[in-house]
Amino acid sequence: MEVIESQIDTAGDEYRANYERMQELVEDLKAQLKKARQERSEKAVKRNQELGKLTVQERLDRLLDRNTPWLEIAPLAAKGMYDGKVHGAGTRAGIGVVKGREVLVHANDPMIKGGTVYPMGVKKTLRCQTISMENNLPMLMLVDSGGAYLPLQSEIFPDSDDGGRIFYNQAIMSKMNIPQITAVLGLCTAGGAYIPAMSDHVVHVTGTGAIFLGGPPLVRAATGEEVTAEDLGGAMVHCRESGVSDYFAEDDAHAMQLVRDITALLPTVEKSRVPTRAAKPPLYDPKEIWGVVPKAISTPYDVREILARIADGSEFLEFKALYGPTLVCGWTYVHGHQIGILGNNGVLFSDSSLKATQFISLCDRQGIPLVFLQNINGYIIGREYERGGITKDGHKMVHAVSTATVPKFTVIIGASFGAGNYGMCGRGYSPRFLWMWPNAQIGVMGGEQAADVLVSVKNDQLARAGQPPLPSEMVDNIRKPIIQSAFNEGNAYYSTANLWDDGILDPASTRDVLGLAVSASLNASLEDRNQGHGTFRM
């Protein structure tokens, strides 16, 4: 493989301006993450301490192997929603290492609304289950929840992607032989009672953990019976009498040790194999990405400069380097794992679409994971290009992305607009993971384009009516709110709040995150990769 030679002047004014702008964005991201992890009311903190419970972070610290990586999932889910205090949609989740085994951990935070489940909390749990199933990762549930947030029950209960789907997925995961271990650290109320009931192993903490379909207030209202939570569904009840729970824990710390011990006894899984070699760092500091990415999302730059700061040894074997230059395709290694990578260098033309189609099919047949670096305004439009077949050529690319069976990973590093989002493996095309950089924007089209389209449509209507075009003042009145709305609903924080992605990344951490994600994905089999279509040529 050839080494990418960077053309960036790291001493230049443009680089410094870009660097400072991205630094501001990253510092804001870190502040938002800190707030989501630490902002809790004094009342909630005091109550947690009175009950003798550990915080979620303390539980994770005791559960995960020391000095091992933690890949957090959707830490800013539900940001700005509800009353602005349902941080992380009320949970912490991520991929970590327990007794040397990669696992997915999902933990309720009882200091956020008593652990009650909001609609976005359901969506995050379903996302975690999807990750577990796609990557064959044991799922460890640290349950401490008062059940559904009843004022929003209509958004939680009835539909195919609402709360009931969690238990459906648990049954499917069991059928798939994916281990499920639940620690009952607090309340498991109503539907939440099925989480431990449908798990393979249940650890139950005495005094604080309680499992019941209807809690004491509901029992009192329905039957008149007076009963405490411990007598109704405590650890002694379910470990000694009902048999719902399997392991009796004295406290949170004991429960985490039991979960670790159970995980250690799970059957070992041989990982799928992709070509590997000894890992080595890039020749260029990944933090230099801050100065590579322009301040304005519309300013073009060479995506190879990003590759040079992600790839092992900054080495890259480019595929069809002279053909379809608006899309860069090729092979490299990240943390020792071989990957195929596609990065945008402009809009997608017929030639770049055909190149992508062939490259994706080659990687799929060879069992090479695919990484998409999205910075795309869409496919080219216009009479010449329609006659040249951009629609059918774009379809071939979308078909290849859709049917590829190897693990796919997407990072939105800039723009993600229109059908370009689809062709470059947006959320709808089932990448194993998708992340955004803090400068990224996503939407049907950019705000400027949307505003111009609407002004043009209005002027066409006026022309047909024999009237003059809109005066500049009215044009501005139309354009400004459209552009602002597109930004408000297309920025990285809006995306991550709605779980359109798995988190916002510091660009400098992208290489490490990809390494962790590729490693996690290899817990699943790649045996079905030869099914389906053969190699697309032009």
d(CA 361, CA 370): 10
Q: How confident is the model at residue 217 (pLDDT cuts 50, 70, 90)?
A: confident
pLDDT bracket for residue 486 (50, 70, 90): confident
Name the token pair of 219.
């029992």
Which tokens in the block code for residue 304? Answer: 């190879």
The model's confidence at residue 445, banded by pLDDT at 50, 70 and 90, is confident
| Percentage of the chain exceeding pLDDT 70 | 98
Q: How confident is the model at residue 535 (pLDDT cuts 50, 70, 90)?
A: low
- Tell me, what's the pLDDT at 84? 95
pLDDT score at 349? 96
Strand stretches in 155-194, DSSP E: 180-189
What pLDDT score was predicted for residue 408? 98
Q: How confident is the model at residue 146 (pLDDT cuts 50, 70, 90)?
A: confident
Cβ–Cβ < 8 Å for 197, 166: no
Residue 116 has pLDDT above 90, yes or no: yes
**Residue range 288-305: average pLDDT?**
96
What pLDDT, on the 0 to 100 scale, is given for residue 285? 98
In this structure, are residues 285 and 316 in contact, taking their beta carbons and an 8 Å threshold?
no
Mean pLDDT to the nearest integer, 474-491 = 87
pLDDT in tens, 121-134: 999 999 999 999 99
- Cβ neighbourhood burial of 83 (10 Å; 0-12, 13-18, 19+): exposed
Read off the pLDDT band of 433 (50, 70, 90).
very high
Residues sharing a CB contact under 8 Å with residue 167, sequence separation 6 or more, in sequence order: 191, 194, 195, 198
Is the predicted pLDDT of residue 293 greater than 80, yes or no? yes
Q: What is the pLDDT of residue 478?
A: 85
**Residue 180: how many CB atoms within 10 A of its CB?**
21
pLDDT at 218: 87
Looking at residue 150, its pLDDT comes to: 86
Q: Based on C-alpha coordinates, what's the Rg of the chain?
A: 25
DSSP secondary structure of 110-149:
TTTGGGPBPHHHHHHHHHHHHHHHHHT--EEEEEEE--B-
Residues 453, 144: Cα–Cα separation, whole Å: 50
Is 2 strand, coil or helix?
Answer: strand
**DSSP bridge pairs for 247:** 203
In sequence order, the 6+-apart residues with CB closer than 8 A to the CB of 421 are: 374, 376, 428, 442
Residue 538 has a pLDDT of 55
User: Residues in the chain, how many?
Assistant: 538
Label residue 532 by pLDDT band (50, 70, 90): low
Strand pairing category for 180-189 and 201-205: parallel
Instruction: Return the closest-CA partner of residue 510 out of 439, 444, 441.
Output: 439
**Distance of alpha carbon 402 from alpha carbon 536, whole angstroms:** 14
Q: What is the pLDDT of residues 159-169, one digit of tens each?
A: 989 999 999 99
Calpha distance 7→4 (Å, rounded): 9
**Paired residues of 180 in beta bridges:** 139
Confidence tier at 203 by pLDDT (50, 70, 90): very high
Position 258 confidence tier, pLDDT thresholds 50, 70, 90: very high
The more confidently predicted of residues 473 and 246 is: 246
Please tell me the distance from the alpha carbon of residue 276 to that of residue 94, in angstroms, as a whole number: 25
Per-residue pLDDT tens for 496-506? 999 999 999 99
Output the pLDDT for position 132.
98
Neighbours of 176 (CB within 10 A): 11
